[in-house]
A and B are shown apart, each in its own frame.
Chain A
Amino acid sequence: MANLNIDSIKDRTFDAIVIGSGMSGGWAAKELAEKGLKTLILERGRDVKHLKDYPTTNLYPWEFPHHGVVPSAVQEANPIVNRCYAFGEDAMHFFVKDAEHPYVQDKPFDWIRGYQTGGKSLLWARQTQRWSNFDFEGPARDGFAVDWPIRYNDIAPWYSHVEKFAGISGNKDGLAELPDGEFLPAFPLNAVENYFSKHVKDKYKGRHVISARCAHLSKPNQIHLDQGRGQCQERTLCQRGCPFGGYFSANSSTIPWALKTGNCTLRPFSVVHSIIYDEKKGKAVGVKVIDTNTKEAIEYFADVIFLNAAALNSNLVLLNSTSGRFPNGLGNDSGTLGKYVAFHNYSAHISAEYDGYKEWATDGRNPAGGGYIPRFRNVYKQETDFLRGYAAGFGAYRNNTRNSEGIGADLKHNLAKKELGGWSVGSHMMGETIPKESSYVMLDKDKKDQWGVPLLKISVDYDDNDAKMKKDYIEQMTEMFTSAGFTNIQAHTDTRAPGLDIHEMGGVRMGNDPKTSMLDKWSRLHACKNVYVTDGASMTSTSCQNPSLTYMAFAARAVDHWVNEKKKLNA
């Protein structure tokens, strides 16, 4: 019996445990397994294998029961996730449904989740920009949150490392506020995007409209072919999972790569209850998992834990990991755990028309989505009555006019006409928000889920800074559109809740001072040095760039640090 127990513990012991198999967890697992560590990946949802588990990927519109429309019963049962732009009949099986995993909204918060291997990396919008020193120096310069413990130079080589493997398309634009990376060829701007780019460059100092940089294999290198991935075929049906592996997802890239080493075990249906802290050893020794099907509690052990459960769930795991040493959550000596949560403000967009370049159209589809306008407000110095700034998307489109007038043969004729309309243009804002102590998550005191894990209570909100920034975005874009000769300019604002941006960050922030932050400059808990957090939870501030690329870089950098530390100890 005793032997059996020892064997059982041995079977449940690894060199490293990675909690979460998504954007950042996939990277941690890949790096650990490549460096020879026996690694266990815990995924709370089901396994989704590349290609095999993309049931809708090759369906034509008419092959969907409702030709793409989400049935009203599904919509009514899922008011939250139904608000997500990618929640359609073709991809709804990859999203968490509202009733499956409830949470408590102290203030309105649309928490969009994907519980499966690969997590939301299957579903993301694939925009990938590096953060710059203007972002990492932001809190110190502008006096909010705490100083980032790193600068751009610390992370730059790791950006290169992940970009080469993931495959990022883009141009070397030479902008200090948006550093260049290791790029595959960019998806070019079309006639009107290009016109606007030139116009803005001529008229507005320090403002740029560039090809959006995105995680698509515009021209794969050997390292991508080695992953079994091929060139992007411009389907723009990415949310279904790509049969070509044309965009980066953990499913197509990091997870199979990690598994191929033979060093990695993936355990789906494993919700993490807590990280086990050993008071005598003064470190984390493992993870308590609940099998989501059998509800059996199982403990797994390892020298190091990488927590990559996605921003808010990583907060939840630490908050629920209590011990005599850490009664308020693992590593929470500072009392900052769960606090200083922020997000991106996407609540404004602008549309217009342009009466020119009628001789040009586009052919095929652009997976990058068009242009990107890096932040131009308050970059070199504070110049407005709000802190920080916003990036913006910019796209121009020209489609067939679909005329459904009349009936009978006339109607058939109208519908089949291949007559191009004029150009439409559009832009949306992506605003940095300021992390505040008053924006937090905590465990609900009473309510638990079916696996005995307390529900997360979310209390995150906009503030005056966001309102001022939104107003400025509309003013500046309206002026730039007017100046470019765009007509019928219409600004749209909405009252979306935080969360729908799917860029929630913070709660387990990095910082130099253990009294005011959770993680050190290597992304590990100040107070428990063998636990690393390298997903959105670790972000000290939010920048206005899309964050996934930065999570990937932090994950790879943290693994490298751990392995080097181990070497030093063993030497």
Chain B
Amino acid sequence: MNRRIAIRNMALILGSAAVLPSCLGDKNNSKPIVELKHLQLNGDEQQLVANLAETILPKTDTPGAKDLNLHLFAFKMIDDCMNKQQQDDFKAGLKAFADAADAKYKKSFNDCTVAERTAFVNEAEKDIKDKAKDDAKMLTFYQTVKQQTVFGYTTSQYFMTKQVVYELVPGRYNAMYPAAKKEAV
């Protein structure tokens, strides 16, 4: 993605929220990435969400969450589109998530390797499938981040122009269209 577009996208996502100078990759960074209006998250917490988003949708041969600023989108959505109760649950769940990672790896999720993060998140996925109840808060948090990351991804310019193309102006309605052709698009 060229820089001009990247900056424009970031501006669109953030709107009035200010991006704070920081480096996403810095492990010892406790500076917040972005200043939010309602949701109070410190730098480490924000990094955790960003790292989690990247674990859910990592950079492969196609762009990942951080490339597409999906973590910033998730912050914006949780800050603007969730009510106080949901935000409180989010914070509590984030803490539970961080604590569980600490307990398991004896270091923070942010300090974990990509492999460790992936293993940890896969376990959360499994718990959700098995409907595990003991860490409901943590799983709700995880699902919220996943939901927003996936929503941001599937409604991103990248996805809607390069993966499943969205047409603003279809210019047609074919009521009888072969399914095989549709799936081949």
Contacts and interface: CB of A to CB of B under 8 A. Distances in A.
Contacts of A63: 12
Nearest to B87: A72
Interface string B154-182: 11110110011011111111111111111
B82 interface: yes
B156 A62 contact: yes
Contacts of A402: 154
Interface in A187-246: 187-191, 193-194, 233-235, 237
A524 B81 CA distance: 48
B57 A71 contact: no
Contact of A71 (B13, B80, B154): B80
Contact of A362 (B77, B168, B174): B174
Contact of A62 (B155, B177, B178): B155
A143 interface: no
Nearest to A62: B157
Contact of B178 (A58, A188, A359, A407): A359
A10 interface: no
B42 interface: no
A359 B181 CA distance: 10
Contacts of A76: 83
A179 interface: no
A364 B172 contact: yes
Contacts of A363: 172-174, 177, 181-182
A237 B167 CA distance: 11
A207 B183 CA distance: 35
A71 B87 CA distance: 13
Interface in B100-122: 118, 121-122
Interface stretch (B22-30, B133-141, B145-153): B145-153
Interface residues of A, number: 51
Interface stretch (A11-19, A413-421, A486-494): A413-421
A58 B185 CA distance: 24
A68 B157 CA distance: 14
B182 A361 contact: yes
A366 B173 contact: yes
A364 B185 contact: no
Contacts, number: 143
Contacts of A364: 167, 170-174
Interface in B44-103: 55-58, 60, 62, 73, 76-77, 80-83
B156 to A, nearest CB: 5
A459 B25 CA distance: 61
Interface in B6-51: 9, 12-13, 15
A276 to B, nearest CB: 47
A365 to B, nearest CB: 6
A452 interface: no
A188 B153 contact: no
A400 B183 CA distance: 8
B172 A234 contact: yes
Contacts of B150: 404, 411, 415
A65 B180 contact: no
Contact of B81 (A71, A361, A416): A71
Contacts of B170: 233-235, 364-365
A73 interface: yes
A144 interface: no
Contacts of A65: 12-13, 15, 76, 80
27 contacts: A62-B160, A65-B15, A65-B80, A68-B155, A73-B80, A188-B173, A188-B175, A191-B176, A194-B175, A233-B170, A237-B168, A362-B173, A363-B181, A364-B174, A402-B154, A404-B146, A406-B125, A407-B125, A408-B56, A408-B57, A408-B58, A408-B60, A412-B57, A412-B62, A418-B183, A418-B185, A420-B183
- Leading 8 A-B pairs by shortest Cβ distance: A363-B177, A363-B174, A364-B170, A364-B172, A188-B175, A364-B173, A67-B155, A71-B80
